[in-house]
A and B are shown apart, each in its own frame.
Chain A
Amino acid sequence: MQQQGNRFFFNVDWITVLIYIALCTIGFVSIYASIPHHDPAASFDFTSSYGKQLIYIITGLILGLSILLFDGRLFNVFAPFIYGITILLLIIVLFVGRNVGGNQAWIPIGSFRLQPSEFAKFGTALLLARYVSTFNPKFRDIKSIFIAAAIVLAPLLLIMLQPDTGSALVFLAFMFPLYREGLSGYFLLIFLGMIVLFVADFLVPTYILILILTTIGGLFIYANKRKQKLIITTVLVTLVAIGYLFLVKVAYTKVLEPHQRSRIELMLGLKTDNKGAGYNVIQSQIAIGSGQATGRGFLQGTQTKYGYVPEQSTDFIFSTIGEEWGFVGCSVVIGLYIFLLLRLVNLAERQRSTFSRVYGYSVACILFFHVFINIGMTIGIIPVIGIPLPLISYGGSSLWSFTILVFIFLKLDSNRMGFI
């Protein structure tokens, strides 16, 4: 109470703020570069995408700083309420939403469009933190796992209905905070195993996979032939895995949309389509690859300048960075993200309150999913999943939602000595 004038900003982790500002600046510069046909003589244009992004950044910063003015305890208290609102918005958007690019994801408010799925992320993070901090479950019992899963799956499924698979997938990131809070590591392994089997199912004939799985299972049983319980589990796991293989085949053709199938096939190299569905990824990779070590230089990227990469200022913004700043620029951006993620995790670990810790992990892991999926997509190691690159991609909703995510955590962190 002595430092009256500095009360609100006391203990704020300014390093994170600096990284935040650095990433936003990189975003602005990249969006500026992504506009084709630059007229060097033209004055600054606030109606253009880079002009709007500058407004978003400034308002985002104001928003972030004003979050720091709140009492951190409010977020804990209002968590269910905020979660409720975001769920409501996700339902509303299904009825009144504006259809943009096949997704019913936007609620038009005047000239502005709100994307509820972006805000659902911090609503979910808050409620999950609240649940874990209140009941302190160790996720050893089915009930607590079920409740946590419900909190995450509710928005996830609603977003799937839009249908915005990309944004929905991000909610899988909540697995990591739960893991940190005691969820068995097997869940992560099963999740990893599912991805591996999914990919393998396309690349290797199914009967060979079955052969491999039974061999591994058999060897495992042989090594543990005294432990009857383990043998039963192994048999079950092997059978489930084999069943999963067939399920994948069926689900792939029955559930996934044709464009999603082709994106997966393109990513796995099962087909090439440089003009159609593969065009984005190919042009994005050409742009990034042509940047070589040090890049073509600001505004010098031909892929960028002459409009060869569609969606370049939003989902494919990383290709601008890759082309104009090269491997060095890419490394700097990835380095900044990793530094931010590691720092967020370290900050989360120093919290006394479980609420702050769970929330901190959630923020870090959501950011991680976004960064990994988005960059992975632009360089062709992940199928095209349209989610933005945090703080860099063009767009107000996404920028503000990340701002809110990060600054709420900074506020909680500044209160870390207190008990919420």
Chain B
Amino acid sequence: MEQLFNRKYVIQGLFIVVALILLAKLFYIQIFSDAAFVAAESNVLKKKFKYPARGAILDRNMKVIVQNEPVYDLMVIPNEVKEFDTLALANALEMTIDDVHKSLKKAKAKSNYQSTPFSKQISVQSYARLQEILYRFPGFSTQDRTIRHYPDSVAGQLFGYVKEVSQTDIDKSEGYYRPGDYIGKSGLERSYEDVLRGEKGVVNTVYDVHNTPQGSYAQGKYDINAVSGDRLISGIDIEVQKLGEELMQNKVGAVVAIEPATGEIISLVSSPGYDPNILVGKGFGNNYMDFIVGNPYRPSLVRPIQGYYPPGSSFKPIDALIALQEGVIDPNMTFNCPGYYMAGNHKVKCEHVDGNISMRRGIARSCNTYFCHVFQKLITKNGMKNQRQTYQDWRDKVAKFGFGAKLDIDMPFERKGYFYNADHYDKIYGKRWGYTTVISQAIGQGEITATPLQIANAMAVIANRGYYIKPHLIKGIGDKKLVKKEYVTKNYVDVDPKYFEPVIDGMQDAVNTAWGTAVLSRIPDIMMCGKTGTVQNPHGKNHSVFIGFAPRDNPKIAIAVIVENAGYGSTYAAPIASYMVEKYLKRSVTGARASQIEWMKAQNLLPPLIDKKNKTKLSKADSLAVKKIDSVKRVKDSLKIKSAVIKQSVSTKPAKSKPATINSTKPETR
């Protein structure tokens, strides 16, 4: 019996051991590990995001040029839907009963319990009709959100577009974006995405096991209010921009206008352009294919920052400035122009025979011979043997004007142009090269290419007499009107201000004297200084170029205009520049020049298209006929291409262009 009594301790011991096992496991899941806590939170807690309004963009006169517009989505929670009158809903939404069933099926497939889009961006009329009858459709609700609106319907490439995020965007954002979010994909919408998008808000809602919302979590302690995106103030003058796009319609090319003192971009025209409103909302997919991808003149190429053009004659003032600074010439030194310049046995033609010519006239008349001599002096100043090094020094000095490198404009996908170092020529010619080899660069031809932005920026340097501020579109972010530091820093080109005046004299003469190349573009009461260029184009007709600034003293605007395949700079580029400058400085263009504007707008200079497959040339009419005409009608007439279609279909005139001549490698400028 004594032994059996002791068995009590075995049994009691077992009780205690088991209790300790239970407590050990409890200790592990309750105190040691917090996995269960996290799991419990994720069971009940669902985050709903509140979308902030995207920031608006204003022009330099504080006019709103990018804003938001409310749109309405019809949402549905499929498992709350009872039997309903499908016909009534279909009528209210202007869709068929089949579509109603399809949409419901689609929503169900996404989620049975969550609010899912049933019909996106319903019309205001549908919205109004729905408001009255929505009570009859349990499970349905309307949700308002905003989409972008561009009141002036211009500057598509400049503003860019906003689109639903892609998987790549989501992956890259480190958790910021979620499926269904919107993101700026190009233009300003992209480069200022971080400030425009604002801050998403979060509402934490508690859900029960049936996924029914049970109110806010922790009395909303962890909720975050959405913060609207910052307002951007741009340097764009929307009126000038509009005029620029109208002038450039039916032409291929670019215009860049900069306020020299600040680097603010006043206008940035890429032609052909498009109405940014076509890339908003429902029609995005079709419109993108029809008008951006489908347009043979490639509006997707943002020509002001991506198009490569030889600077041509607009390069000559820079040659002159560096030569003056280097002391290899003085403004009164003359060179003899027999109508050409011989670089070894290589002939550079001039458009005229001027005899002995000095700098002022050389610039005004755009004399190739004069500048080839200047270039010869520049490259050979340290002796014939040191030409390679001297070329490199010269190249670096020119680069200070902004060539051969990105200017860091606040737009995505800027390109830097070509402007080669001495190494490049070593590779091609070995050690045996000199100024004659690269003589085309004297007149801005040959291997050098630049974007219209770089060319306009070089003009701003001359307007400022020796420095530039990196050109930028946005001059103030948010209420504090912040601006990036690099957009207030002066970049000096290391040319003494006193050397600018003789060069500017020549540019003044180019526009304002009888013998100047751009005299027809003289603006009454405004002293515009400028320089025409006729850029030899190996792929077709010459490009028409004009650069300039105005007024001469205390310049307010520097401008570069390039019209592809338009011939002489004085015919198209210079007048277009003059109208835009006048519009900017006087707010309007009056008198005879007003009717000239209309003439210019009506000019169709679209180059002929080459069918790449068949290597045959299509007429403009043919190439445009490929496009669906009815799809064009859907868009506002702001789309330039539309008038082209109409014009072509009305006019019986044969295509204006001649077959492209790819003959001479000899630069020809005027």
Hey, which bits of chain A sit against chain B, CB under 8 A?
A: 36-37, 176, 179-182, 185, 283, 285-293, 302-303, 305-308, 322-323, 326-327, 330-331, 334, 337-338, 341-342, 345-346, 349, 361, 364-365, 368, 372, 375-376, 379-381
Contact = CB atoms under 8 A, between A and B. Distances in A.
Given A307-B209, A330-B26, A379-B22, A286 B43 contact: yes
B137 interface: no
A307 B40 contact: no
A288 B31 contact: no
Interface residues of B, number: 36
Nearest to A304: B40
Contacts of A287: 36, 40
Contact of A180 (B4, B25, B30, B209): B4
Interface string B18-55: 11011101110111011111011101100000000000
A330 B25 CA distance: 11
B14 to A, nearest CB: 8
B31 A181 contact: no
B112 to A, nearest CB: 15
14 contacts: A181-B4, A287-B36, A288-B29, A289-B29, A302-B206, A305-B214, A322-B26, A327-B26, A331-B23, A334-B26, A338-B16, A345-B15, A365-B11, A379-B25
B209 A308 contact: yes
Contact of B210 (A303, A307, A326): A307
Contact of A285 (B10, B23, B29, B34): B29
Interface in B189-233: 206-210, 214
Nearest to A376: B22
B36 A289 contact: yes
A176 B363 CA distance: 116
Contacts of A288: 26, 29-30, 36
A176 B9 CA distance: 12
B5 interface: yes
Given A181-B4, A327-B31, A307 B22 contact: no
B29 A334 contact: no
B8 interface: yes
A380 B40 CA distance: 17
Given A330-B30, A334-B22, A381-B25, A179 B7 contact: yes
B22 A372 contact: yes
Given A286-B39, A293-B30, 5 more contacts: A179-B11, A306-B206, A308-B40, A308-B44, A345-B12
B36 A381 contact: no
A179 B25 CA distance: 29
Given A303-B43, A307-B210, A291 B18 contact: no
B364 to A, nearest CB: 83
Question: Which of A337, A341, A364 has the most CB atoms of chain B within a 10 A radius of its CB?
Answer: A341
Nearest to A365: B11
A361 B207 CA distance: 47
Nearest to A375: B22
Nearest to B11: A176
A286 B11 contact: no
B11 A180 contact: yes
Contacts of B16: 338, 342
A346 B8 CA distance: 8
Contacts of A180: 4, 7-8, 11
A340 B36 CA distance: 30
Given A293-B31, A302-B40, A341 B15 contact: yes
Contact of A289 (B11, B30, B209): B30
Contact of A36 (B10, B12, B39, B208): B208
A322 B18 contact: no
Contacts of A181: 4
A303 B27 CA distance: 19
A345 B8 contact: yes
A291 B30 contact: yes
Nearest to A381: B25
Nearest to B38: A290
Question: Which of A288, A289, A302 has the most CB atoms of chain B within a 10 A radius of its CB?
Answer: A289
B40 A292 contact: no
Interface string B286-327: 000000000000000000000000000000000000000000
A327 B27 contact: yes
Contacts of B19: 334, 337-338
Contacts of B27: 327
A338 B36 contact: no
Contact of A290 (B12, B39, B209): B39
A144 to B, nearest CB: 15
Contacts of B207: 306
Contacts of A380: 25
A364 B207 CA distance: 42
